[in-house]
Amino acid sequence: MSLTLHGYWRSTAAYRVRTALAVKGVSYEQVTHDLRTGAQHEAGYCALNPQGLVPAMETDDAVLTQSPAILEWIDEVYPDPPLLPADATNRAIVRAMGATIACDIHPVNNLRILNALRAEFGADEAAVNRWIARWIGDGFAALETLIARHGDGFAFGAMPTIADCHLVPQVYSAERFAVDLSLYPHLKVAADNARALPAFAAAHPDRQPDADRA
């Protein structure tokens, strides 16, 4: 099967998908859409993804959108190694961890939201950074409790899961905006353990072909 991932090197949602593909050892092509220039709103891309957001993934017979759905598809189509636990209750916990990031942290810190804060509400960069830290902090506080309860080296258990595919990119974003992570020691250990793995390292934004070069 041929796969084409439409993304952007610094998009944390695309980062999640790259991570899952790397964990599974699945090859794919990348097409970049520079979010800073609004390339994701061009007509050709919107014909693929009407939301004009990244990521989107072209398969042989469909265009998949929304990173949580893409992650689940990857895990079903490429089941080894699994990114969800075998037990239904544990799968629900892992999905909830991912949703804490994908539904509650990331959307309000998305570039289009930050740009709206600047353009429509007059927020300066200090205010924008406070906004980012507030929502990351709320979500990470909840995840810290869940990881302390369910983690064993990773966000859930002793192997990486979809929860880690969400967590590592969000920690990358938190560090980029200088959010203090000392309040979340279990979360930080889980993220550090995951991003030390070769697959997670390969998905890092700085290692992507479209990354800014100094």
**DSSP letter for each residue of 29-77:** EEEE--GGGTGGGSHHHHHH-TT--S-EEE-SS-EEESHHHHHHHHHHH
Q: What residues pair up with 5 in beta bridges, in sequence order? A: 30, 57
Q: What residues pair up with 4 in beta bridges, in sequence order? A: 29, 58
Cα angle 102, 107, 108 (rounded to 5 degrees) comes to 135
57-102 residue pLDDT tens: 999 999 999 999 999 999 999 999 999 999 999 999 999 999 999 9
**Residue position matching structure tokens 């991932």:** 5
The token pair at 53 is 């957001």
Identity at 58, one-letter amino acid code: E
Supply the pLDDT for residue 64: 98
Sheet holding 56-58, edge to edge: 29-32, 4-7, 56-58, 63-65
pTM for this model (two decimals) = 0.96
pLDDT over 80 (residue 214): no
pLDDT over 90 (residue 213): no
23-66 residue pLDDT tens: 999 999 999 999 999 999 999 999 999 999 999 999 999 999 99
**Residue position matching structure tokens 């509650």:** 104
Set out the domains of the chain in order of their start, with CATH numbers: 4-81+200-207 (3.40.30.10), 88-197 (1.20.1050.10)
> Residue 51 — φ and ψ, nearest 5°?
-75, -20
The mean per-residue pLDDT over the stretch 4-16 comes to 98
pLDDT over 70 (residue 158): yes
